[in-house]
Amino acid sequence: MLFKRKEFLQIGSLASASLMMPKFLKAFEKKAVVPPGNKVMVVLQFSGGNDGLNTVIPIRNDIYYKSRPKLGIEKQQALQITDEAGLNPALPFFKDLFDEGSLGIMNNVGYPNPDHSHFRSMDIWQSASDSNEYVTSGWLGRYLDAQCDGCGKPTQALEIDDVLSLALKGENLKGLALRDPKKLYSSSNERYFKEINASHDHEEAAVDYLYKTLSETLESADYIYSQSRRHPSSQMYPPTQLGKNLKTICSLILSDINTKVYYVSLGSFDTHVNQENQQKRLFTELNDAISAFVKDLKSNNRFGDVAIMTFSEFGRRVAQNASGGTDHGTANNMFFIGGGLKQKGLLNPMCDLNDLNEGDLKFTVDFKSVYATMLHNWLGADDEKILGKKYEIMSFV
Amino acid sequence: MSISNQLKNQHLLWRAAFGPMAENVNELADISQKELYKVLEKTSSKKPVELNVATNTFDGFMKGLQDLGQMQKLNRDQKKQLRKQSVEDLKNLNLTWLGEMINSEAQLREKMSLFWHGHFACRVINIYFQQQLLNVIRENALGNFGDLLRQVSKSPAMLSFLNNQQNKKQHPNENFAREVMELFTMGRGTYTETDIREAARAYTGWGFNLKGEFVNRSFLHDTGSKTFLGKTGNFDGDDIIDIILDQKATAKFITGKIYKYFVNDNIDEQKVEHLAEKFYRDNYDLQKLMNEIFLSDWFYQEKNIGTRIKSPVELIAGVRRLIPMELQKPEAQLLFQRVLGQILFYPPNVAGWPGGKNWIDSSALMFRMRLPQILTNAEEFLITPKDDDDVMMGKEGIDKNAKANQLQVIVDWNSVVKVFDQTSRENLFGRVNDTVLQTKNSINPNVLKRYVDNTSREGFIKSTIIELMSTPEYQLC
């Protein structure tokens, strides 16, 4: 019977994949090696609100220990990086990065009138909006809008996930979410889909949105898959989700794909209860995956072209709660990892625990200024157009 | 453009139910929307039978424990075992409820329950708690919103999920108070941070015991005076709910969300305002609100038909309602839910599933378009489900190693083919198309022609249905 379509899931040879590749994409294949200097940004989202105070620990601060009689991490246990700061004991590789000058830490990042809801605060971070405005596009999506006008394919920004985050949804263009290149390829390699897509001609808002997604997916799937197979990584990664995701990202970075931004999440850091174990488990996953990723990049001489940036929707209250956890807070620290940082180590002063707002940290760096810096200095993009406003450009990259 | 009576009826069935069934497609040509809605209302009027799927293993565990204190005495392995059993039982609850959505005659009730399941989003791994919350929702889905809100707020599932068990006079935990106001009732921008802190104080002491009963632990309650939304008094949790229900913002927020879910993603402010006023005057009577919507003329306007993106659960249920089938491995439906981003009892966070365009990303769309083939046994599939620790609070989710290859499905194609017995060959494509799709336009028949089976009438009907379901258009209802 005709509708039993056996060819559905078979993965064709690479040769047939490239035959199906649209002409404009083939052009990318010709360049043999990506020239050094092709900068890539990897955004690593800590979902759920990571506790920054137990990430970069103020080891000489009495207020910290008084506010956290049970949860406070003792100076002896912390991985000391400066006189006043230590890293969480589950992050030994971050200490190595610090020592070799490949780690930057920005303290006290936040925004005015902080929101304590996960949902809303993540919205604010991903859309790069003020806390009193509602923006339905994301900052990296608008980067695509600005950078990629007319390129017609969403591979400049990829999220390694099943669902695309708001951050990668622009007003006109969207990034592409994939769990892995092979899965995306095998699920889209279907003649029927290609034909109905090609014959679609009517215009109605709801169905158009679906067809646009379909057509972008079909165009990109072959391209991403063939690129991902060019330099299969030989580095061992931990068998965790983040490990697998960073391996996928690395194999794409090592190819000559046009992707500038990768987005990946780790969570959940929502540690109202029993924080110590949960944060330790997640940090161990983080530490081991980043360690493999950095080794992989270094052995392929690409570490200098990659900047990893971490963020979370908020930090947590200074004081511990009664359940061995912490409640939603405000300002937080961010990590920057890469071989091309212009400034290393602690990029600004540690948080001031003497000056709190109802038990919460006061931010001193607007996260949009961090975004502006990455967009302007690292990606060479028009930060003002993307963020809708001029923010201070810093000099860490 | 004139909209056919059948299309309007199918519209009602997609929105107020889980789509038309093969067996009743032919009756939809002539019956009026009013009559059809009356049937939906009547078949949902009975109190639902409670779902109870907790296994003897879990029951046995729980009966051995009299209170939460004894939970501490369990050793690590016992706790792990209890949890594992709960995860297993939750799968069963998922499939049982999905079965109700597909097969129950109380379609309107189950559809409303699915809406509330997303509204009162709750993610806890305890089969007793989840089952009880679901039964509260199904029982009150068309009742009074105030009753529903109060019962949900006092359910161990929600108190546990939003950490109110830890909300104590000396250490208030604001999570519960915040989400009740932001997501369950009034919506953002209608209260202040101070209101949240004061409400949290009023909720101190609300908790539960191991039997899954609400308990008011007065020794943990803050008996001081609170000022909440302009009122001052020695409020407790019930007082806070009363004050919240007094706010018109609550009626407006709930009505707006119902409008978006059942009518159109783009809110018509005037209509919502009008509906909300009436909902408030009717003392939050949900049945009356839904009657008002589904009996209106504007609900059947062209702009509201075929423009809503189905949620994954609606998509699965919709295929299975039109095409009667029996799955030998029903647990494969858990994988579908996971890949498509909507696992019942595992909402992404307390805000529930955002819905609309958020359902559609590249890989989700590709899988949606393959789903009808997979379900009707025509295709093998291999899914590597996503690791699911997002907002799981470190908890265990659905078994990620589960694999399914080809589904063993028995499809009752006869019932489907019979629907078109009276249709002439030249009208067949049009009739099948109008039964399957709700959108104004369909796909190019010349393309479709190349993919359908023309060797027999039966084969033509089957393959046309499947191909039409494997389109972007079918994602809409």
Place of tokens 């948080």: A351
The minimum CA-CA distance between A211 and chain B, rounded to whole Å, is 7
Residues of B in contact with A48 (CB under 8 A): 391
Bigger pLDDT: A152 vs B212:
B212
Highest mean pLDDT among A180-194, A383-397, B62-76: A383-397
- Suggest the residue from B169, B197, B366 to mutate for an interface test with chain A (most A CBs closer than 10 A): B366
CB nearest A323 (choices: B166, B341, B373): B166
Q: B165 near B159, Cβ under 8 Å?
A: yes
Q: Across the interface, which of A2, A204, A209 has its CB nearest the CB of B451?
A: A2
Prediction pTM value? 0.77
* Tens digits of residue pLDDT in A314-360: 999 999 998 899 999 999 999 999 999 999 999 999 999 999 998 99
Please calculate the CA angle A358-A359-A364 and round it to the nearest 5 degrees.
90
Q: According to the model, what pLDDT value does residue B378 have?
A: 63
Task: Tell how strand A365-366 and strand B231-233 pair up.
Answer: unpaired
Eight-state DSSP code of residue A328: B
The answer to whether the CB atoms of A268 and B389 lie below 8 A apart is yes
Asked if B363 and A183 count as a contact pair (C-beta separation under 8 A), the reply is yes
For residue B166, which residues of chain A lie inside 8 Å, CB to CB? Answer: 272-273, 321-323
Can you tell me the distance from the alpha carbon of B421 to that of B418, in angstroms, rounded to the nearest whole number? 5
Residues of chain B contacting A182 with CB distance shorter than 8 Å: none
Q: Do A273 and B350 touch (CB under 8 A)?
A: no
**CA gap A183, A248 in Å, rounded:** 12
Residue B70 is predicted with a pLDDT of: 63
A24 touches chain B (CB under 8 A): no
Contact across the interface for A268 and B393, Cβ inside 8 Å: yes
The reported pLDDT for the residue numbered B64 is 64
pLDDT grade for A216, boundaries at 50, 70 and 90? confident
Interior angle at CA A101, CA A95 and CA A103, nearest 5 = 60
**B402 touches B385 (CB < 8 A):** yes
Q: Does A206 touch chain B if contact means CB atoms closer than 8 Å?
A: yes
B451 touches chain A (CB under 8 A): yes
CB-CB under 8 Å, A163 with B364: yes
Q: Inform me whether the pLDDT recorded for A33 exceeds 50.
A: no
Tell me if B378 and A220 make a contact (CB, 8 A cut-off).
no
Percent of chain A residues past pLDDT 70, beyond the cut:
89
| Any B CB within 8 A of A160 CB | no
Other C-beta atoms within 10 Å of A127: how many?
20
Q: Output the pLDDT for position B394.
A: 35
Contact A263, A59 (CB under 8 A): no
Instruction: Report the residue of chain A nearest B167, measured CA to CA.
Output: A322
Report phi then psi at A218, rounded to 5: -60, -40
From A138's Cα to the closest Cα of chain B, the distance in A is 13
Contact predicate B141/B111, CB 8 Å:
no
How far apart are the C-alpha atoms of A264 and A310, rounded to whole Å? 10
Q: Are A78 and A57 in contact (CB under 8 A)?
A: yes
- Position B352 scores a pLDDT of 84
Contact (CB<8Å) A213/B362: yes
Helix (H, G, I), strand (E, B) or coil at A303: helix
Provide the sign of the torsion angle of the four alpha carbons B196, B198, B199, B201, taken in this order. Answer: positive
Give the separation between CA A200 and CA A213, rounded to whole angstroms: 13
Is B166 in contact with A321 (Cβ distance < 8 A)?
A: yes
Residues of A in contact with B187 (CB under 8 A): none
Interchain contact A4–B (C-beta under 8 A): yes
Angle at B244 between CA B242 and CA B246, to 5 degrees: 70
Q: What is the ipTM of this complex?
A: 0.90
Residue-level pLDDT at B68: 53
Of B309, B364, B380, which is closest to A162 when you measure between CB atoms?
B364
Contact list in B for residue A273 (CB cut-off 8 A) is: 163, 166, 393
Distance, CA of A6 to CA of A1 (rounded, Å): 11
* β-pair type (A40-46, A306-312): parallel
Q: With a CB-CB cutoff of 8 Å, which residues 162-191 of chain B face chain A?
A: 163, 166, 168, 170-171, 173-175, 178-179, 182-183, 188
Q: What angle do CA B126, B129, B132 make, to 5 degrees?
A: 140
- In this prediction, residue A209 has a pLDDT band, given cuts at 50, 70 and 90, of confident
Q: Which of B170, B361, B448 sits opposite A163 (nearest CB)?
A: B361
Nearest CB to A116 within list B178, B357, B453: B178
Give residue A65's identity as a one-letter amino acid code. Y
Distance CA B345, CA B122 (A): 7
Q: Does B361 touch chain A (CB under 8 A)?
A: yes
**How many CB atoms are closer than 10 A to CB A377?**
18
Contact A3, B453 (CB under 8 A): yes
Cα pseudo-dihedral B72, B75, B81, B82, rounded to 10: -20
CA distance B444 to chain A (A): 6
Size of interface A-B (CB pairs under 8 A): 195
The minimal CB distance from A120 to the residues B188, B367, B470 is found for B188
Mean pLDDT, residues A24-53: 70
CB contact (8 A) between residue B175 and residue A327: yes
CA triple B163-B165-B166, angle to 5 deg: 70
**A82-91, A202-211, A250-259, B417-426: lowest mean pLDDT where?**
A202-211
CA B225 to chain centre: 39
Helix (H) or strand (E) holding B41: helix B33-43
Q: What are phi and psi of A265, to 5 degrees?
A: -120, 155
Q: φ, ψ for residue A328 (rounded to 5)? A: -60, 135
Stretch 367-426 of chain B: residues touching chain A, C-beta under 8 Å: 367, 369-370, 373, 378-382, 384, 386-387, 389-394
Q: Which residues of B445-460 are buried (b: 16+ CB within 10 A; e: fewer)?
A: eebbeebbbeeeeebb
- Tell me the two tokens of residue A333: 């620290």
Residue A15 pLDDT: 31
With a CB-CB cutoff of 8 Å, which residues 233-272 of chain A face chain B?
Answer: 241, 265, 267-268, 270, 272
pLDDT confidence of residue B328: 86
Give the residues of chain B that fall short of pLDDT 50. Answer: 383-404
Spatial separation of the C-alpha atoms in residues A185 and B222, rounded to whole Å = 58
